[in-house]
Amino acid sequence: MRAAVVAALLPWLSACSAPSYLGEFTEGVTALFDLGDVMRPAGREAEQIAQLAWVLFIGAAILWLLVMALFVYITKQNPRPLSRRWAEALIIGGGGIFPVIVLGILLVWTLPLMPAQRMPGDGLTIRVTGKQWWWKVEYLDANGDEANTVVSANEIRLPKGRRTEIVLAADRVIHSFWIPALAGKTDMIPGQTTRMALEPTKTGTFRGVCAEFCGESHALMAFDAVVLEEPAFKAWLAAEREPADAPRTAAERRGAEVFLTQGCGACHAVRGTPAQAQIGPDLTHFGSRLTLGAGSFDNRSAERQSWVAHAAAMKPGARMPAYASLSDEDLAALDRYLEGLK
Amino acid sequence: MNSPQQDEERRTFREEASSLWLITLGPALWAVHFTVVYAATAVVCAKLGTAYLPYLRLGIAALTLIAVGAIAVIAWRSWRQWNYMTNQEYSHGQPTGEHRHEFLGHAAFLLAVLAAIATLYTALPAVFIAGCG
């Protein structure tokens, strides 16, 4: 029986591509119990983690069933004392030798996964800095020229099929960078630089979160990870590098004026305008972002106006002051301007 | 001056003094191996860099061989002391010299097996992990 279990587990342990009926089974269970992004991997690291989880889960389920069947057999079907020889074999074999072998196989199988989870990137480098409670995102220049860094916030775009190096830092407290669909999490520590790499295998938009409690709005510190085909990514990065579009309509021009006269530029940058501060998120292409307030709200007119009027009421502890004194017209004009920052 | 009763105990347990060494030596070897492997890896990775990892691995392999070999000797000696093959005895409940002797051999044997497995598991990452990161 022991040999049969090991024989049944071995193809699982060695095979990178499980037979298709197993794939269907795991997909079905994932959908049925809504297991979430970790079990619906879209990146190289996450695929390894999900495979490991499935092997452990199915292996544990098989072992549990076998032990229960043995209990039923010994207590109900055939309740008689075992011979000393069989009892010793059961205790030493089942309690000692078998677990040592299984744990040894698992250890030998999983240890090489650890360096595989930390392999360096082969192209682009993105520096992400955890702030309370948002993410500063910088796409570094390939030649290391800091002046060519593309600054963004609260959204990370990645090319599919490439291994992007992620350099992580933190401002005041510890955060943790986690996109469950793509890879495991990595802590961001003030005064230190940590790193990881992301190699997406599917395009799409995936949720990223802060996975280390970092203060009152920790639960509202999220972001979108958008995976694009490489040509689309290159086009997007080229557009992101450009300064902000000039306001086109009267309302947008009025909004740009409100932005500057209300002092928004004391914290925010809109490249191509006098607003150049780096205290809050860069807003140069804010209108093209999917979400507002670090992955917490839809980036729509009502939410944007509400955010400007009383940000801390939507996100406790947020350092952005409330602009409740703005007239409805000014608020609407500012909203048009922000929406136009594509 | 010791009382006659203390002298009596001293005589009774003197013959088991070496058994106490036997029982502690297996886990102690594991602990020393563990500490040396972890400390050496940390120092090599922090001070010397990945270029020195092959030497570190050879060192860990040699140390593991020595440790497991020594633990095997301890296991063999405690197995003999347990004397299982002669009397197939698992319980050693009698307050006699023989039972004490066999109990300590039995316990030392099990601890030596545990120490050998733990030592091998400690060394496994050195075989399978390629870098310092």
Summarize pLDDT for A219-236 with one digit per residue, the tens: 999 999 999 999 999 999
Q: Please state the domain extents for chain A.
A: 2-116, 125-241, 250-340
- The CATH T-level fold of domain A250-340 is Immunoglobulin-like (2.60.40)
| Of the partner residues B113, B128, B131, the one whose CB lies closest to the CB of residue A111 | B128
Which residues on neighbouring strands pair with residue A188, listed in sequence order?
A: A175
Position A8 scores a pLDDT of 54
Averaged pLDDT, A251-269: 94
Torsion on CA atoms A40, A43, A44, A45, rounded to nearest 10: -70
Q: At what angle do helices A98-110 and B97-128 cross, to 10 degrees?
A: 20
pLDDT of residue A231: 96
What pLDDT is attached to residue A158?
96
Whether the predicted pLDDT of A6 surpasses 70: no
Would you say residue A18 has pLDDT above 70?
no
- Report residue A16's pLDDT band, with 50, 70 and 90 as the boundaries: very low
ipTM over 0.95: no
The pLDDT value given to residue A200:
96
Q: In this predicted structure, what is the pLDDT of residue A20?
A: 72
Tell me if A125-241 shares its fold with A250-340. yes
Cβ-contact A230, A158 below 8 angstroms: no
Question: Do the Cβ atoms of A119 and A164 come closer than 8 Å?
Answer: no
Helix (H, G, I), strand (E, B) or coil at A292: strand
Average pLDDT over residues A309-314: 93
Could you list the beta-strand ranges (E) of chain A.
Answer: 125-131, 134-139, 150-153, 155-159, 164-170, 175-178, 186-188, 194-198, 204-210, 222-228, 291-292, 297-298
**In A32-46, which positions are buried (b, 16+ CB within 10 angstroms) versus exposed (e)?**
eeeeebebbbbbbbb
Question: What residue of B is the nearest CA neighbor of A195?
Answer: B133
DSSP code of residue A221: -
CB contact under 8 A, B129 and A104: no
Average pLDDT, chain A: 90
pLDDT above 60 for A7: no
B117 interfacial to chain A (CB closer than 8 Å): yes
Q: CB–CB of A111 and B130 under 8 A?
A: no
B124 CA: distance to closest CA in chain A (Å): 7
Cα separations in angstroms, B112 against A230, A295, B36, B105, B116: 57, 55, 19, 10, 6
CA distance B98 to chain A (A): 23
Which residue, among A147, A83, A150, A89, has the nearest Cα to A285 in the 3D structure?
A150
* Across A145-149, average pLDDT: 89
CB within 8 Å: B121 and A111: no
CATH of domain A125-241: 2.60.40.420
Q: What's the confidence (pLDDT) of residue A61? A: 95
Cβ contacts (< 8 Å) between B129 and chain A: which residues? Answer: 111-112, 114-115
**A298, two tokens:** 């839809």
Residues lower than pLDDT 50 in chain B: none
Residue type, A11: P
- The lowest-confidence range among A106-115, A201-210, A295-304 is A106-115
Query: For A273-305, what is each residue's pLDDT tens digit?
Result: 999 999 999 999 999 999 999 999 999 999 999
* Model confidence at A5: pLDDT above 60: no
- The confidence score (pLDDT) of residue A9 equals 54
Of the candidates A270, A269, A261, which has an alpha carbon nearest to the alpha carbon of residue A340? A270
